[in-house]
Structures are given as C-alpha cells and as structure tokens.
C-alpha cells in the first residue's frame, strides 16, 4: 500500500523556512531536525524565494491575489445589499407619507 501524505500548515512551513534563513543551517540539517523530507523543505524554500522576489518587484503573491478576489466579491455583495436597502427605505418613506395623508384626511 502507498504511504499517506502528511500535510503541514502554513505556520509550520513558514517556521521551517525561517529557521533555515536565520540560522544558516543547511536545508538537510533543518529537515532532519524537524523530521521532514529535505526535498520538501527545499521546495518550501524555493516557493519562499519566489514569493520574496515577486513582492520585491511589486507583483502580488498568490495569497494576496486570493485575498483581493475575496474582497472584491464581498464588495459586490455589499453594494447589492446597499441598493436593496435603499429601495426598501424609499418604499417606507413613501408609505409614511401616504399614511400621514390618510391619517390627516388630506
């Protein structure tokens, strides 16, 4: 049977990359200390390097693009909701005017 793949949360990945960058230890040594495959850590290092290069050139990272898309969707939802609330408010204003006219006999 095949091995099940372990998954690592983003905090663990970032921490492992930070250890390599800040301590100057080799990828192989840090991977051994953390009990992960050196190739996996090397991939994380490469992704971190690419992300740093992109941020230095002003390009958005993948997580920033996802956040931007989420915020745009949220803005569209709120804009639609605001328009609906404004329509409801206008209807209520008209209803109050009609009710006052009816109550005062005008």
pLDDT tens, 27-53?
Answer: 999 999 999 999 999 999 999 988 888
Q: Which CATH architecture has domain 7-59?
A: Orthogonal Bundle (1.10)
pLDDT value of residue 22? 94
pLDDT value of residue 45? 94
Q: Can you give the residue ranges of every domain in the chain?
A: 7-59, 61-106
pLDDT value of residue 2? 64
The structure tokens listed for 89 are 């408010």
Q: Which string of b and e fits 46-66 if b means at least 16 CB within 10 Å?
A: eebeebeeeeeeeeeeeeeee
pLDDT tens, 39-95?
Answer: 999 999 999 988 888 777 777 778 888 999 999 999 999 999 999 999 999 999 999
Residue 19 has pLDDT above 60, yes or no: yes
pLDDT value of residue 63? 85
What's the pTM value of the predicted model, to 2 decimals?
A: 0.52
């Amino acid at each position: 049977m095949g091995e099940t793949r372990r998954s690592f949360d983003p905090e663990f990945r970032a921490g492992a990359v930070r250890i390599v960058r800040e301590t100057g230890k080799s990828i192989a040594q840090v991977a051994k200390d953390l009990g992960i495959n050196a190739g996996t850590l090397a991939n994380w290092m490469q992704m971190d390097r690419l992300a740093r290069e992109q941020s230095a050139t002003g390009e958005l990272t993948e997580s920033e693009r996802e956040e931007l898309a989420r915020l745009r969707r949220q803005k569209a939802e709120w804009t639609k909701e605001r328009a609906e609330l404004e329509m409801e408010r206008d209807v209520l204003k008209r209803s109050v005017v009609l009710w006052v006219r009816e109550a005062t006999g005008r």
